[in-house]
Amino acid sequence: MNDYVEPTMSVEACRAYIMGCEFPAVALSSDEVDHPVQGKMLRSLTVDEKKEGAAVVANSIVSFVAGMSKQNKDDIKNSVLFATLVANRAHPEMEGQRWYEKFMEVMSRASGWLPKRKDYARYTTVEQQFTMDQVGLKILSSAVAAAALPGQTSVLLLGVAKQALDALQASKEPLRLFEGKSRSHAGGTFSIVSCTESSDGEVVMAVGTVSFSSTLDVTNVLFWNWNNTSVSISRAESHLVLNQGVYANVRDDILAKLGSNAKDAVAEYSI
C-alpha cells in the first residue's frame, strides 16, 4: 500500500510532459472490425448536471455522482482517456502493474491529478465463480473506504458505480466499445471509476483497476461467469483529487493532443 500526496506539477512541467507523450497507432480490435459503432451521435448525450451520469472511456467505466458540472465531467473523461492512451502505447499488452503505474504517472504529470493513495497487489477470492463487474466493485469499494470521505459521499460513489455497471449491460454501443478496448492477447485490464464534486468544487475520483490473464477467449469480460481456476487477477485501487488550477491551464493542450480520440473512444450512456 502507498499512502502519499505527490508534489504538484507546475503548468510548464505538465505542458512539457504532454508534448512528449505518444499514443498507439490507430488500430481496431477484432470486435470493432466485426461490429463497428455506427455514428458518432450515439457517443454523446445532453448532460443534465442534476442527474447521475456514466461513460465508457476506452477501457474504463466512469460514473458521476449527481451535481457535477459538465466541465468537470469532460475534464475527467479527457484526462482518463489521455492517460489510458499513453499507458497503452507504453504497454500495448496492458501488462498489469506496469500499465497501471504508467497510467497513474500520466494522470499526475499531464493532468494535475494528485494521487492520495495507490495500491497494487494480487487479487484472491474464496469464491469459485464470479463476474468481473463484481470483482471491480469490490476493489472500488476498498478504494472508497480508504479515502475516508465525509458524510454520504462514499455511499453515493459506490451507488452510482453500481448503477453504471447495471445500465451498461443494456447499452449496446458503449458495451461494445468497452469490450473492444479492455482485452489484450491473453487477458485484459479495465477500471471502474467513480467521481464526485464537493460543495466547494473539489473534484474527487476513486478508481478500482482489474488486470487479468486467462487462456479463455472471452468476449463478455464483465459479465461472464469466471471460474477461480481459469483466470489470474491482480487489482489496483486509487484515490485522486484534481488540481483544477493546473488542469485549467493544460485543458487545451490535452484536447489538442487527443484530437478525434476524444469522441471515438468515449461513449456516454444514461443510468
Structure confidence by residue, pLDDT tens digits, 110-168: 999 999 888 899 999 889 999 999 999 999 999 999 998 888 999 999 999 999 999 99
Structure confidence by residue, pLDDT tens digits, 176-203: 999 999 988 778 899 999 999 988 889 9
CA distance 15 to 19: 6
- Would you say how long the chain is, in residues? 271
Which residue, chain included where needed, has cell 493544460? 250
CA 49 vs. chain centroid, Å, equals 20
Q: Which of 62, 119, 110 shows the shortest CA–CA distance to 86? A: 110
Residue 171 dihedral angles phi and psi, to the nearest 5°: -110, 90
Q: Which of 60, 109, 17 shows the shortest CA–CA distance to 265? A: 60
Roughly how many angstroms between the first and final C-alpha of the chain, as a whole number?
33
Residues in Cβ contact with 49 at an 8 Å cutoff, skipping those fewer than 6 apart: 66, 67, 68, 69, 70
Residue 22 dihedral angles phi and psi, to the nearest 5°: -130, 150
Residue 217: band (very low, low, confident or very high) from pLDDT cuts 50, 70, 90: confident
The predicted model scores a pTM of 0.88
pLDDT at 265 over 90: yes
Residue 257: band (very low, low, confident or very high) from pLDDT cuts 50, 70, 90: very high
Q: Which residues of 98-118 are buried (b: 16+ CB within 10 A; e: fewer)?
A: ebbbbbbbbbbbbbbbbbbbb
Q: Which of 264, 253, 271 shows the shortest CA–CA distance to 79? A: 253
The answer to whether the CB of 162 falls within 8 A of the CB of 192 is no
CA 164 vs. chain centroid, Å, equals 13
**Which pLDDT value is given to residue 182?**
92
Q: Which of 44, 34, 112 shows the shortest CA–CA distance to 267? A: 44
Which residues are registered as beta bridge partners of 55?
Answer: 62, 268
Mapping DSSP to helix (H, G, I), strand (E, B) and coil, where does residue 182 land? helix
Structure confidence by residue, pLDDT tens digits, 53-86: 999 999 999 999 999 999 999 999 999 999 999 9
CA distance 21 to 123: 31
Mapping DSSP to helix (H, G, I), strand (E, B) and coil, where does residue 257 land? helix
Residue type, 171: S
